Structure 1
Amino acid sequence: MSKYKVILLRHGEGEWNKENRFCSWVDQKLSTDGVKEAQACGRLLREQGYTFDVVFTSLLSRSVHTAWLVLEAMRQEWVPVVKSWRLNERHYGALIGLNRAEMALNHGEQQVKVWRRSYNVTPPPIDQSHPYYQEIYNDRRYSNCDVSKDELPRAESLKQVLDRLLPYWDGTVGPEIRSGRSVLISAHGNSCRALLKHLEGISDSDIVNVTLPTGTPVLLELDESLRAVKPRQLLGDQVKIQAAIKMVEDQGKVKPAA
């Protein structure tokens, strides 16, 4: 029986989503379309009667900005927003900044799918020679985390994302849900997929085929143990949602010649 409802949201389109690059922990802003997606999401949630008591985001601007725009569109700007690095996007290591379609051309579409979607495969780690290393690890936002900067990841599989996310879910987000508060989680494609794997009991092999489009709210209905009792519902125009899912999946394919 459904006892709790939670809305899970992948942020609106970011600038590097548009450019089809591995963004990961680089702090890119929302694109113009991403802003519109977040605003449309907020309007949809308001029209469907949702209200929130607390919003959880990552430390990355595209996640936080999405939450702000959603709350503004819902006329709930006063709702507190709680931020944690544990909701950050998956750390793609040395792949950060690279174009997915170009990677598919150079390494094959299957290898790119493994890097993007698999559960246990970790990409090559980032090191100090990487062009975005200093930008990430000298960022002041990581100075007050619950782990030291030296303990922050240099690359992650989806399993490792779930491993660092679960303590936050169990210790911070879950208790808010159990207390009866209405929760929105504005996060990223892979932190959302990791959480879905846990809540829905998705197998290691099936999680490869779970794709979430940007700016589309996902309704989860949970039991007393905070496990899903119904299939997730992607809210909104289903034709547009399926087209958006296909667009995300096609990002890892070789771009057709003009």
Structure 2
Amino acid sequence: MPSKTHATWWPYGYPPMEEAPPIHPYPNEGGRHPPHNHDHRRYGWPPHHHHPYGYPYPYPYPYPYPPFEYEPPPGKPDTGVCPLLDMPPSDEKPEIIYDVRSPVSAARRRGHHHHHYLRHHQDEELSAAEKNAPAVYPTTSHLLIISQAFPWGIKVAGSSSGVTCDDVLNAVHAALQKPITPSEWWIATPEQRKKVIAAFESNCSAEKSGRERKNGILRVDWLCDHTLILGLGKDKDFIGERVMDEKVAKDTWVLAMTKG
């Protein structure tokens, strides 16, 4: 009959605690195992593979825990745009869906569904909170909008609490419904004028457009097929080319358009 001290009689191949030899208060100093970098006097017992008697279960993370370095959340940037008008990443679509040929009431917010089986996203009407949200921050009572899609600037005036998203949309729509002046028409190249005329014909013949040919070519025709708002942003180089006054440039934003 094998001895009780035979390893095969012990659970998991280890001696019961009552049969184990006494533990030296400082195992390293007692010579029970070679020195290691783990200081059990500060952090508790070392991992099980370092335990002098091979305790079969892993020990919890040593206490006290390593020092935790607090990282404060990133601060709010100096300038920014509301989520509705913010410029999306290159691989994403804008949050707002608005074709400037239509009234502002037609603007929608892109719907988001998390269910993979929903193939179509249901776009939603803009809420009052979204319309009345500050368009940019720091808030300002006025701003200037320029774009690479058209050669003129659009002034936006808001209340004392600041320009809102609704102010921006209404100002852009109103400015683009004005007729093109002779000076604006003749700064265009012959090729550009052909494209504008084609856009004029297309917009007048489109169903539900409400356009009348007698009103002539409008500024919105200058956009050709780039009639969807992509977003607002800052482009220091472009702003520097178009705006000479530094004070005005501070409140100038670039409107990006995309194909409708």
Same fold (TM over 0.5): no
Q: Which has the higher contact order (CA 8 A, sep 6+)?
A: 1
Q: Considering only CA atoms, is the larger Rg found in Structure 1 or Structure 2? A: 2
Greater share of helix residues, 1 or 2?
Answer: 1
